């Protein structure tokens, strides 16, 4: 993978991030800020849109500026670039969704230190041209989001009996609330099961890809 | 109201420092209830010694930057906001600059003062900068309206709580080496399940506060 990275095509960069190098179950990065809001699908969706915007735009910016960023202070520069885009998200959310913003404002700010953003900048955008970098950032945001939306769907359906705030069909007849899905530990369990299923599927049906690099040493 | 909480309550009605500390470190543990600092937690907790080192570094940086950030917020940003300047948007950028700057400064000081400690900490200091628990602690502190002294205690609690969680996890993972785990669940998968169980246990203590 590392060899290919210098000549990777934009569409390949995007597709890689969706499954082969999925941020959640392959790299296990950036779980921090967003997992906390996964007990409601709408909040998760807003956070995911914010994250996609931040990864894609900061990848693009860093890639455009990559020849001009001094090596010694590059982390600091990257953090400042990311925070500019996150502040845009923060202001937009305050204007359009003031109710939701009240609940999740602190988590929106935390997109700045989300490892997946910084990780893509360090691993890809610093060494690639702007267009592939943008696709890579977009892909990692999307790869991250579809996993999180899946987790949020499970948690909201089991915890509140709703999907996007609408009750499940005939919920009162058969549905029973799982309180654990509403509280934080539920997120850990659902994420663990999601990782398990995705990796198990990859192990069984795909010719043994690199597998998890993090956390297994 | 439990007996312990009555003992901790201040006559002035606010939460006592001890209660703030206990809530931040245990019942509201920043790692187990808010998922902050997961990245370095998942990868570092496979080694006990490294966990203790990183935990100490995080606790120290969180406590110090927490106090600095609280001072910046209450003495600079809040007065500006009151004068009609939209200063709250600057909060994020200022906090992250304080944290990154503090870590850089700390690295330089340690390099001058003690080379042994410098090499022992090695990679941990840069890791601390991107640890979301530190920025998170600062943001939650402002959300809760804590002033400088309370904020310092709160941040210290958050940092030590993070350290407690990572050291506990390192201990559990040490024992896990002899366990048989399904291959697809190895590494992060099983760690997350243990996290969930641990979070349940920590939540059980929440009756002590309130």
Among A97, A154, A134, which Cα is nearest to A11's? A134
Among A198, A216, A208, A119, which Cα is nearest to A151's? A198
Does B55 fall in a domain? yes
> What pLDDT score was predicted for residue B122?
65
Mutate to test the interface with A, among B61, B96, B133, B182 (most CBs of A within 10 A): B96
Range of the domain at B188: 24-205
* Per-residue pLDDT tens digits for B182-199: 888 887 888 889 989 998
Q: How many residues does chain B have?
A: 210
> What pLDDT score was predicted for residue B62?
93
- Segments of chain A with pLDDT less than 50: 1-5, 208-217
> What pLDDT score was predicted for residue A207?
54
Is the pTM higher than 0.80? The answer reads: yes
Mutate to test the interface with A, among B196, B198, B203, B204 (most CBs of A within 10 A): B196
> What pLDDT score was predicted for residue B40?
81
Mutate to test the interface with A, among B38, B94, B99, B186 (most CBs of A within 10 A): B38
> What pLDDT score was predicted for residue B153?
93
Does B210 fall in a domain? no
Q: What is the mean pLDDT of residues B97-112?
A: 85
Decide: A163 and A156 in contact? Cβ < 8 Å.
Answer: yes
> What pLDDT score was predicted for residue B107?
82
Which of A79, A105, A106 is closest, CB to CB, to B136?
Answer: A106
Does B6 fall in a domain? no
- The yes-or-no verdict on residue B3 having pLDDT over 50 is no
Does B93 fall in a domain? yes
Which of B34, B130, B189 is closest, CB to CB, to A115?
Answer: B130
Q: Which residues of A108-135 are buried (b: 16+ CB within 10 A; e: fewer)?
A: bbbbbbbbbbbbbbbbbbbebebebbbb
Does B16 fall in a domain? no
CB-based contact B188 A110, cutoff 8 Å: no
Residue B15 is given by DSSP the state P
Q: How sure is the predictor about B123, in pLDDT bands with cuts at 50, 70 and 90?
A: low
* Per-residue pLDDT tens digits for B71-90: 999 998 888 888 877 777 78
CB-based contact B92 A212, cutoff 8 Å: no
Among A195, A199, A32, A46, which Cα is nearest to A118's? A32
Does B7 fall in a domain? no
For residue B68, how many other CB atoms are within 10 A of its CB?
20
End-to-end CA, chain A: 19
**Which residue has better confidence, B202 or A20?**
B202
The DSSP string of A142-194 is HHHHHHHHHHHHHHHHHHHSEETTEEPTTHHHH----HHHHSHHHHHHHHHHH
> What pLDDT score was predicted for residue B14?
59
Does B79 fall in a domain? yes
CB-based contact B36 A32, cutoff 8 Å: yes
How many Cβ contacts (< 8 angstroms) between chains A and B? Answer: 145
> What pLDDT score was predicted for residue A211?
46
The DSSP string of A55-121 is HHHHHHHHHHTTTTS-STTHHHHHHHHHHHHHHHHHHHHHHH-HHHHHHHHHHHHGGGG-HHHHHHH
Among B142, B153, B127, which Cα is nearest to B56's? B127
Residue B116: CA atoms inside 13 Å, Cβ hemisphere, count?
A: 0
CB-based contact B39 A86, cutoff 8 Å: no
Q: What is the mean pLDDT of residues B160-174?
A: 93
> What pLDDT score was predicted for residue A210?
47
Q: How sure is the predictor about B167, in pLDDT bands with cuts at 50, 70 and 90?
A: very high
Decide: B190 and B176 in contact? Cβ < 8 Å.
Answer: yes
> What pLDDT score was predicted for residue A53?
94
Q: For B99, which residue in chain A has the nearest alpha carbon? A: A76
The domain tally of chain B equals: 1
Give the tokens for residue B126.
Answer: 């840069």
Longest CA pairwise span in chain B (Å): 62
Does B175 fall in a domain? yes
Sequence-distant (6+) residues with CB within 8 A of A146 are A18
* Per-residue pLDDT tens digits for B9-29: 443 345 688 888 888 888 888
Among B45, B5, B32, B41, which Cα is nearest to B201's? B32
């Amino acid at each position: 993978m590392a060899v290919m990275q210098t000549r990777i095509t934009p569409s390949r960069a995007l597709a890689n991030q969706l499954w082969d190098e999925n941020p959640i179950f392959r790299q296990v990065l950036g779980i921090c800020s967003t997992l906390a809001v996964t007990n409601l699908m709408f909040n998760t969706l807003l956070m995911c849109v914010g994250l996609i915007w931040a990864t894609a735009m900061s990848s693009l910016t860093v890639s455009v500026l990559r020849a001009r960023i001094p090596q010694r202070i590059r982390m600091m520069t990257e953090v400042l670039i990311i925070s500019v885009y996150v502040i845009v998200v923060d202001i937009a959310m305050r204007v359009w969704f003031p109710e939701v913003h009240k609940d999740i404002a602190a988590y929106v700010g935390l997109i700045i230190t989300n490892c997946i953003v910084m990780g893509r900048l360090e691993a890809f955008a610093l060494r690639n041209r702007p267009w592939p970098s943008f696709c890579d950032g977009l892909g990692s945001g999307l790869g991250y989001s579809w996993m999180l939306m899946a987790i949020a769907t499970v948690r909201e359906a089991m915890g509140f009996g709703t999907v996007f705030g609408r009750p499940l069909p005939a919920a009162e007849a058969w549905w029973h609330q799982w309180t654990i899905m509403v509280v934080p530990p539920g997120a850990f369990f659902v994420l663990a099961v999601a990782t398990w299923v995705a990796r198990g599927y990859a192990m069984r049906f795909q010719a043994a890809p690199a597998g998890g690099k993090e956390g297994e040493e | 109201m439990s007996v312990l909480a009555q003992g901790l309550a201040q006559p002035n009605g606010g939460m006592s420092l001890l209660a703030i500390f206990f809530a931040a470190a245990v019942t509201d543990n920043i790692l187990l209830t808010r998922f902050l600092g997961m990245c370095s937690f998942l990868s570092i907790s496979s080694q006990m010694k490294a966990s203790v080192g990183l935990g100490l570094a995080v606790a120290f940086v969180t406590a110090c930057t927490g106090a600095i950030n609280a001072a910046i917020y209450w003495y600079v940003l809040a007065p500006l906001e009151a004068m009609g300047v939209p200063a709250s948007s600057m909060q994020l950028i200022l906090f992250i600059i304080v944290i990154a700057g503090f870590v850089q400064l700390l690295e330089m000081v340690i390099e001058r003062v003690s080379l042994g400690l410098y090499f022992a900490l090695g990679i941990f200091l840069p890791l601390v900068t991107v640890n979301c628990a530190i920025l998170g602690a600062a943001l939650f502190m402002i959300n809760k309206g804590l002033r400088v002294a309370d904020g310092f205690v709160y941040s210290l609690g958050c940092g030590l709580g993070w350290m407690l969680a990572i050291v506990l996890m390192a201990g559990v993972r040490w024992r896990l080496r002899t366990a048989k785990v399904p291959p697809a669940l190895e590494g992060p998968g099983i760690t997350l399940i243990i996290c969930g169980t641990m979070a349940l246990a920590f939540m059980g203590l929440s009756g002590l506060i309130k």
